[in-house]
Amino acid sequence: MAAALDPQTALAEAASAGIHCMPIPTPFLVGRVNCYLIEDDPLTLVDTGPNSGKALDELERALAERGRRVEDLDLIVVTHQHIDHIGLLEVLVRRSGAEVAALDLLTGYLGDYRHAAELDDEFAVALMLRHGIPAEMTQALRSVSSAFRGWGSGAAVTMPLQDGGRLRLRDRTFAIQHRPGHSPSDTVFWDEASGILLGGDHLIKHISSNPLVARPLDADSNPAARPQALRTYIASLVATRELRARFVLSGHGEPVTDHRALIDERLQLTERRKRKMHGLLANGPLTAHELAQRMWGNVAVTQAFLTLSEVLGHLDLLVVEGAVVEHEQNGVVRFEATASVAAPTDTA
């Protein structure tokens, strides 16, 4: 492959191909979310930003810089279900009449967003209680989550997308590739002709895309049979690594201009973190929440669900290796180290 581009050159190359990055403000720690205007037929917006007046104002200004209005949009493409990516969906569809393209698994979720968000919260509460987060903290976190719902919205999916299918515009065709892990619905859009990958939050340069344990899109709450988000995410990264991408246009921050090197770095970080958690279990069994507190201290309280997801993901890897077993007592699960950790494999 050719040498990696610098991020600004990648953005300029994308713009010359008619794909314009529009960073939109969010109220979240992650900062701005990148929406992309694709000047093609149909005129396409990839992701929307959160449901706020400030986000809408900045989106309108960014569109105006391209000589466009919200009412000109013909198609809105959703990369995944998180609220900073779908929040303005309802408003934009109402004003523009645009078609909505999203992974077919998201049809029900976006079509009844409020109900789906309530099911997500029920699942999260049961999961947190099962893995040692105190009930009072769990209820406080649920209240925060309920308040955050207002930053999201939904709409009817008029163009369901299938993994392995094609999204055809006049001047380009994207291969649709389901890459779950960060969320159950993460979808990347691969333009092989240009080498540009629209990656959403699947791969972000400056931060790892946390594999959050989430309710399956085709099932109700069942924390005892939870998805193994990190194992799923690793498989998705390995698949993305094989793409001959010039660069990845991410959902946050700068373009990723050497996706293989970044993926290898992230896989190595996973290996190191897995080994550290195994070492912390040497002194006896712990709940996932207790292990999170040993890893990150008070962050495991302020970011309880995120750190819980991180710990559970690495414990899943250890359980599969036979290095850890889990025991349930009175509805709470503890993890115990039983063997040494397997040697890392070469991902290059």
Domains of the chain listed by start with CATH number:
7-266 (3.60.15.10), 275-337 (1.10.10.10)
Decide the pairing of beta strands 187-191 and 33-38. unpaired
Cis check: omega of the bond before 227, within 30 degrees of 0 = no
Identity of residue 66: R
Is the pLDDT reported for residue 170 higher than 50?
Answer: yes
DSSP states of 38-79 as a string?
E-SSS-EEE----SSHHHHHHHHHHHHHTT--GGG--EEE--
pTM for this model (two decimals) = 0.94
CB 152, CB 51: distance < 8 Å? yes
Give, rounded to a whole angstrom, the gap between the first and last alpha carbons of the chain. Answer: 15
Identity of residue 193: A
C-alpha 108/C-alpha 66 separation (Å) is: 33
**Closest alpha carbon to 234 in 344, 336, 334, 127:** 344
Close Cβ partners of 298 (under 8 Å, ≥ 6 residues apart): none
Please tell me the least confidently modeled range out of 102-116, 217-231, 257-271, 276-290. 217-231
Measured torsion, CA atoms of residues 159, 253, 64, 98, in degrees rounded to the nearest 10: 10
Is the pLDDT reported for residue 25 higher than 80?
Answer: yes
Binned at pLDDT 50, 70 and 90, residue 340 comes out as confident
Binned at pLDDT 50, 70 and 90, residue 238 comes out as very high
pLDDT in tens, 239-284: 999 999 999 999 999 999 999 999 999 999 999 999 999 999 998 9
Structure tokens at 45: 């917006």
Q: Average pLDDT, stretch 187-201? A: 98
Q: Collapsing DSSP states into helix, strand and coil, what is residue 32? A: coil
pLDDT at 345: 53
C-alpha 295/C-alpha 263 separation (Å) is: 23
Which of 321 and 225 is assigned the larger pLDDT? 321
Task: Pinpoint the alpha helices (H) of 79-228.
Answer: 83-86, 89-96, 107-111, 113-130, 135-148
Q: Average pLDDT, stretch 27-56? A: 97
Average pLDDT along the chain:
94
Radius of gyration, alpha carbons of the chain: 20
pLDDT at 29: 87
Is the pLDDT reported for residue 339 higher than 80?
Answer: no
Please tell me the least confidently modeled range out of 218-232, 237-251, 262-276, 315-329. 218-232
pLDDT at 248: 98
Structure tokens at 312: 């559970």
Segment holding 264, helix H or strand E: helix 259-280
289-295's contacts with Cβ under 8 Å and 24+ in sequence apart are: 289/128, 289/131, 289/132, 289/133, 290/132, 291/315, 291/335
Please tell me the least confidently modeled range out of 20-24, 27-31, 172-176, 269-273. 27-31
Is the pLDDT reported for residue 113 higher than 50?
Answer: yes
CA 155 to chain centre: 19
Residue 313 backbone dihedrals phi, psi, to 5 degrees: -60, -45
Binned at pLDDT 50, 70 and 90, residue 1 comes out as very low
Q: Collapsing DSSP states into helix, strand and coil, what is residue 309? A: helix
